[in-house]
Copies of this chain bind each other. A is one copy, B any other.
């Protein structure tokens, strides 16, 4: 990964099913200059012999593709994570068009990633929970039939429009902390809440965790802010001076 490519969004295919579709996604990416592909638990393993022929020459993207065991690990170094969904499902995250997301990514400090779900089912709720925003292609309400590579190409195409524009730098603004720092914060707080019975009843625990994650993901806190909050939590864990 050259330094010049660091500002380009990472394309993350979560549990992709067909190798052919991975190849087509790579081809779609490279047409518009995107080169970094990450695969989360590809169904048929990796490398996949069906990917190459479908990539139509975009082998460099496939050769550099990295495999991850979880979506969280795949976006650990990314501060701006977008989850593509076909329709909104009662989500309380901002919803962007590819155009809006591309504009934001082009001006962003720190790495961006776009998550695409498995061909049939789309992203799982817990994958969407990792993202700060939803990316939805506005589509014919009577015929929505975008395949994976088509969704990728529209996002890559929109992003490429900003490629030659000189972006004002936001050097005063720190980028959102990498995902693993945010995970550290969430884990810390959950560890404190667990013994207090916050996640009871157990039947509600998953939903409660998602809600909490959503509240803490929304801010896009930077490294220093996350560190401040870790300090707050550590302080709260201490016994009071007067205890």
Contact = CB atoms under 8 A, between A and B. Distances in A.
Given A160-B138, A165-B140, A193-B235, A173 B94 contact: yes
Contacts of A205: none
Contact of A30 (B92, B140, B157, B211): B140
A238 B196 contact: yes
Interface string A208-243: 000110110011110001001101100110101110
A14 interface: no
A102 B147 CA distance: 23
Q: Is the interface of A mostly helix, strand, loop or mixed?
A: loop
B219 A143 contact: no
A145 to B, nearest CB: 5
Nearest to A61: B143
A88 B225 contact: no
Contact of A145 (B27, B95, B165): B27
A64 interface: no
A160 to B, nearest CB: 7
Contacts of A146: 31
A184 interface: no
Interface in A138-154: 138-141, 143-147, 150, 153-154
Interface string A138-182: 111101111100100110010011000111111011100000000
Contact of A218 (B33, B137, B165, B221): B221
Contacts of A218: 219-221, 225
Contacts of A90: 172
B138 A167 contact: yes
A134 interface: yes
A218 B226 CA distance: 12
Interface of A: 27-28, 30-33, 56-58, 88, 90-92, 94-97, 99, 134, 136-141, 143-147, 150, 153-154, 157, 160-161, 165-170, 172-174, 189, 192-193, 195-198, 211-212, 214-215, 218-221, 225, 228-229, 231-232, 235-236, 238, 240-242
